[in-house]
Structure 1
Amino acid sequence: MEKKRITKGISLIFLLIMAFIWIVPLLYTILSSFKSEADIQSSAFTILPINWVIGNYQDVLFANTSAPVAKWFMNSLIISVSQTVLVIVLVSLAGYGYSRMKFKGRDAIFIFLMATMMFPAVVNLIPLYKIIDTLGWVNNYMAAIVPGAAGVFNIFLVRQFMQGIPIDFDESARVDGASDFQIFTKLILPLIRPVLTVVALFTFTGSWNDFLWPSIVFNEVEKMPITPGLQLLQGMYALDVAHALTGALIAIVPTFILYLFTQKYFMESLSLSSGVKG
């Protein structure tokens, strides 16, 4: 009993240290967004602002024509939401096909699909850009939405979750005259809602935070998403820390809110059989 208590105490201390390491930079960013640039550049380090200002938010959102953060924010929102919806549709259908339907070469195709995860994504950048350029999608939302719509890991995650649903459910539905489409929409989809929520969370967050690929396919300032666009908030010769921190804080708001509303499903999905009750 005493050993168990000591283990719990050590685990608690470790978690508190990790939370402190994560929270302090975020807290500093929040407080610094209300500081003037002079206060931030001052040699006297302070956590709290000496003079609280809201001008940073006004400058970043409305008064910066060379770096239109509000427009970037909407671009990211459109791209991330569109890609998330597309991913949910594609991976749920693919997961159903690989887990419930029987066709020749199914397992071989799935193994080959999983093998592609061994290649780093950077290997695909040049051929993928050539495809996007050929389709005329450079500086177009489609360039950021379509390439990441069928992530192999998401297909694997959904398939494994479906594997935990007894096949007897499908057979009972077929006896009642249900088609594959009805089984998928009325039986399987409600059961896999937790894992689809996690896929949506991962997809939205990954799309919103993606920096490298949007930096390649977008070269018009007005059409950029917010993550690659934030680099334009820095001056030509010196970094404007106050505005950069304010822009970064604005950029993390959607993903933070999304996690608050989906953390319940995220925890449920840690068990691949959590979608099946009883």
Structure 2
Amino acid sequence: MVGSKEKSKLRLTLRYIIASALLLVMVYPYLYMVLNSFADWTQIDKQLVPSKFTLKSYEWLFTGGEVGIARPWVNAFFNSIIVSVASTALMMVFGVMVAYALSKLNFKGRDTVNNFVLFHMFFPAIILLIPQFLVIQKVGLYDTYWAMIIPKAVSLWAIFMYTNFFKAIPTVFIEAAKLDGASDFKILYRIMMPMSKSITAVIFLFLLMERWTELLWDMLVVRSDNMLTLNVLLSQMFGPYGSYPGPLYAASVILTVPIIIMFAIFGKKFKEGMQFSLK
């Protein structure tokens, strides 16, 4: 009996060791980036774990460093926030409204629209890149916030997720609200949305993360330095700023901070929403 218990404990210990090792392999690249963003410049990329730490990389990033030339990091960071928040908000609003119509309203052509959404989800987005770019140029939105926001204002994935979730909500709630004289808009935001907090957290976090890390489209539609997002600026750092690896790491760390904060705030709802989506 004792031998059996010891073997069981040994197996459990081995599982924890293996799981910890795999977790370390997955997490270490990020830890390496964080450590080198605080490392003394003489130790950056010289050892796995630096022994001397400093804030020099972050000071250089925000003040211009030794040469005293201001880098547009702060401006690029706020550009990323403006574009990401605006695009995500529009994707959420349109996703909720379209999903409610497809799941709870009866109108001619509903099945056609639903099938179009499903078809377009599997359509390679890069094929539409050039036509979208030409349209942005024709309407005079090139090198503006709108050029980065409007083409990303609709997410078919969000529509698909909300539609499936709304279908699972009993229609009796909607019928009762309509008997009380509630409009579809009021039903959507007073009944449907409060019941969809978990899936909303999942959709919101995925859309925000996707838009926050967007690079190709933002590179195409902006050219002036004051309109660059942090991703685009980071991609350009490997040229003129390639000799400053510390600030490169620091800017990369800053790029991840909003996503980490969002996951920390909405983590519980995210788990609940993922459980529903995996059923």
The corresponding residue for 1:192 is 196
Q: Which moved more, 1:195-204 or 1:245-254?
A: 195-204
Residues 94, 10 of structure 1: CA spacing in aligned structure 2 closer, same or farther, 3 A cutoff? farther
2: distance between equivalents of 1:98 and 1:119? 20
Give, in angstroms, the shift of residue 159 of structure 1.
0.6
User: Quick check: 1:206 aligned with 2:210?
Assistant: yes
3-state DSSP of counterpart to 2:170: coil
User: Quick check: 1:26 aligned with 2:27?
Assistant: no
The corresponding residue for 1:165 is 169
The corresponding residue for 2:73 is 69
The corresponding residue for 1:60 is 61
The corresponding residue for 2:83 is 79
3-state DSSP of counterpart to 1:146: helix
Residues 5, 46 of structure 1: CA spacing in aligned structure 2 closer, same or farther, 3 A cutoff? closer
Residues 209, 238 of structure 1: CA spacing in aligned structure 2 closer, same or farther, 3 A cutoff? closer
The corresponding residue for 1:48 is 50
Give, in angstroms, the shift of residue 40 of structure 1.
1.9
State the Cα deviation string for residues 213-268 of structure 1 (Å, max 9, x = none): 11111111221110111123334495422121111011111111111111111111
Aligned-residue CA RMSD (Å):
2.6
Normalising to structure 2: TM-score of the pair? 0.87
Residues 97, 13 of structure 1: CA spacing in aligned structure 2 closer, same or farther, 3 A cutoff? farther
Q: How does 1:107-126 map to 2 (within 5 A)?
A: 107-126=111-130
The answer (yes or no) to whether the contact 1:201–1:258 under 8 Å persists in 2 is yes
User: Quick check: 1:254 aligned with 2:258?
Assistant: yes
Residues 172, 237 of structure 1: CA spacing in aligned structure 2 closer, same or farther, 3 A cutoff? closer
The answer (yes or no) to whether the contact 1:86–1:149 under 8 Å persists in 2 is yes
The answer (yes or no) to whether the contact 1:33–1:246 under 8 Å persists in 2 is yes
1: distance between equivalents of 2:202 and 2:87? 14
User: Quick check: 1:223 aligned with 2:227?
Assistant: yes
1: distance between equivalents of 2:22 and 2:138? 46
AA aligned to 1:61 is F
The answer (yes or no) to whether the contact 1:67–1:232 under 8 Å persists in 2 is no
1: distance between equivalents of 2:219 and 2:97? 31
Residues 95, 5 of structure 1: CA spacing in aligned structure 2 closer, same or farther, 3 A cutoff? farther
Residues 66, 10 of structure 1: CA spacing in aligned structure 2 closer, same or farther, 3 A cutoff? same
The answer (yes or no) to whether the contact 1:160–1:272 under 8 Å persists in 2 is no
State the Cα deviation string for residues 1-34 of structure 1 (Å, max 9, x = none): x9x9999888766653442122211111111112
**% identical equivalent positions:** 28
User: Quick check: 1:175 aligned with 2:179?
Assistant: yes
The answer (yes or no) to whether the contact 1:165–1:273 under 8 Å persists in 2 is no
2: distance between equivalents of 1:11 and 1:61? 45
Give ranges in structure 2 of 5+ residues lacking alignment: none
Equivalent residue pairs, number = 269
Give, in angstroms, the shift of residue 37 of structure 1.
3.0
Residues 137, 40 of structure 1: CA spacing in aligned structure 2 closer, same or farther, 3 A cutoff? same
Give ranges in structure 1 of 5+ residues lacking alignment: none
